Amino acid sequence: MSLPELTYPSDKKSLYFLLKTRLIGLIDGIPYRVSNLANTSALLYEALPDINWAGFYLTENDRLILGPFQGRPACVEIAAGCGVCGTAAQQNRTLLVANVHEFPGHIACDSASNSEIVIPIHEGGRVIGVLDIDSPILSRFDEADRQGLEQIVKTLEEFL
């Protein structure tokens, strides 16, 4: 017996509220960081339209190392300050990039990606990784996505 597919709302405010609620249900009481990140990337990949990659890079020394993700194979290691992910981590701020091909030093793990959003993840006041989401659509991400995904990351930070 298979479960019916969940239909996600097209209104972004409703979508992100539902995603936050589902995320809490997936990770509350689960003490395994990698499992929680894996389920988060699967949830986002399933729910967000027009994306081709959703996942995490985790801080190790002065670089980001590939963590759980959904999508095509990706770059394993990113130096601090390099590409959108390395820059977002180094600057400790969300980066919303409408056209990655215009971003200085962009790292093209998947040539189909055209826009990207990266949100730093914190623990104890320091950046421990980033949430990275790519899309083949130019200007795919907007302020509603930024706010919604920052709430997803805040939820993760509470439970990690």
pLDDT bin (cut points 50, 70, 90) of residue 160 is confident
pLDDT tens digits for range 38-76: 999 999 999 999 999 999 999 999 899 999 999 999 999
> Alpha-carbon distance 24 to 69, whole Å?
18
Q: Which residue has the higher pLDDT, 51 or 1?
A: 51
Determine the pLDDT at residue 106.
Answer: 85
> Alpha-carbon distance 116 to 134, whole Å?
4
Determine the pLDDT at residue 111.
Answer: 84
> Alpha-carbon distance 23 to 26, whole Å?
5
pLDDT bin (cut points 50, 70, 90) of residue 20 is very high
Determine the pLDDT at residue 2.
Answer: 55
Determine the pLDDT at residue 4.
Answer: 62
Please tell me the number of Cα atoms within 13 Å of 1 on its side-chain side. 1
Average pLDDT rounded to a whole number, residues 76-92: 96
Exposed e or buried b per residue across 40-65, where buried means at least 16 C-beta atoms within 10 angstroms of its C-beta: bbbbbbebbeebbbbbbbbbeeebbe
> Alpha-carbon distance 12 to 95, whole Å?
19
pLDDT tens digits for range 109-154: 888 999 999 999 999 999 999 999 999 999 999 999 999 999 999 9
Q: Which residue has the higher pLDDT, 105 or 85?
A: 85
